Structures are given as structure tokens and as C-alpha cells.
Chain A
Amino acid sequence: QVQLVESGGGLVKPGGSLRLSCAASGFTFSDYYMSWVRQAPGKGLEWVSYISSGRTLDYADSVKGRFTISRDNAKNSLYLQMNSLRAEDTAVYYCARDFPRFDYWGQGTLVTVSS
């Protein structure tokens, strides 16, 4: 069955950096677009970024220029490099299969940006 497992979250100071990872299994990773979606505490869902199998990518305006999405098809892994983090980036970050519809989601990893 499809499994997506995120890691790399934690507490970071404003202006700091963090790299999230998502390990995928149960499907042919290289065949699928992959996405990151986040959810601030007690709030709704916000799409962050996607990357295609051919490495076409895009970002939400709120993270453009600060976040970088990448993938390693040989390792069945998705990444999100987050730089210049702000308090408003505090959220659970979910790895999700496909774009622009998200058919499977990981359990998420919490990123807290605070001094």
C-alpha cells in the first residue's frame, strides 16, 4: 500500500533553515508528481509546492524564493529545503502524492519557527 513518511521537522529560529524529507513506498515513485501541503496549528490547508516526474516545479507565492523542492527517484524520496524561515511558516508539513489533486498523504512533520 502507498506509504509516505515525513521527517526533518523541529524547532528553528526565525531566519533559520530546515530540510524536510519524505520517504515513499508502495507505488512507482518516479511516475508521480509529488507535493508539499502545510497546515498551521488550528488552521486550514495550504498548498506549498509541487515537482513533476520531469522536475517541472512551482511554489506558492508565500514561499517562493525561500523554499526549494527536489526529488531523488533512485531513493524514492522527496525533499523540501526551507530557508529564511518566518514565524508564519510554523505548521505541520505534509508530503502528498500527485498534483494538483492529492490522493495520498503522509502523517506530517511539525515545523515550529520561534525564537
Chain B
Amino acid sequence: EIVLTQSPGTLSLSPGERATLSCRASQSVSSNYLAWYQQKPGQAPRLLIYGASSRATGIPDRFSGSGSGTDFTLTISRLEPEDFAVYYCQQYDRSPPTFGGGTKVEIK
């Protein structure tokens, strides 16, 4: 199965700053079948990005995804208070679909 490694484990930033989250795959993810989810404490995950760079319905344009092959990035251009959460990447190129271990974005 494809293993996804997310870095850093924790990102400490202030509101208004830019967040850059990394997701590296153990094998190439073809057709950019890579998604990003946001999860807040006690809540279900929410789909943010699919196809590596397409925003899901209702997701603000401060969230953007990029990358291809084995290296993918989620960027939050200017952090809002509600953006402090855990973010997971997920590949859906090959079965089983797998998730990264998550990056926690916390308030500095």
C-alpha cells in the first residue's frame, strides 16, 4: 500500500501567517489522486482539496493545494482563527486508500 508521510508533525504559527504543509508518498500518485482534509477537535474530517489542487465545495480560496508524483503541499495563505486544526492528506490512486499521519497547526 502507499504510505503517506506528513511533515512537520506540528506547525506553530500566528493568525495571519502563511502555513505550508507537506505530504510525501512512498510511490508516485498518478492522476494526482490526492486529497486534503481538515479535522477540528471532536469533529469529523472535512474535505478541503481533491485532485491535488481542486477546492471542495464551500472551501475558501486561502486554501490551495499543489504538487504531483510523490510530493504534495497544502498552503493556507493567511491563517484565520478557525484554521487551527489537524490536516490529513489521503491518496486514492491505489487501493486501499491511505491517509497520512496528520499535521497539527497550532496557535503560536
Contact = CB atoms under 8 A, between A and B. Distances in A.
Contacts, number: 49
Interface string A30-63: 0000000000000011110000000000101100
B91 to A, nearest CB: 9
B96 A101 contact: no
B50 A44 contact: no
> Which of under 10, 10 to 19, 20 to 34, or 35 or more describes the interface residues of B?
20 to 34
B95 A58 contact: yes
A103 to B, nearest CB: 5
| Interface of B: prevailing SS | loop
B97 interface: yes
A105 B45 contact: yes
Contact of B47 (A47, A58, A102): A102
Contacts of B96: 47, 58, 60-61
Contact of A44 (B35, B46, B95, B101): B101
Interface string A69-109: 00000000000000000000000001000011111111110
A106 B99 contact: no
B94 to A, nearest CB: 9
Size bracket of the A interface:
10 to 19
Contacts of A107: 43-44
Given A58-B95, A60-B96, A45 B90 contact: yes
Nearest to A104: B47
Contacts of A108: 44
B32 to A, nearest CB: 12
Interface of B: 33, 35, 37, 43-47, 50, 56, 88, 90, 92, 95-102
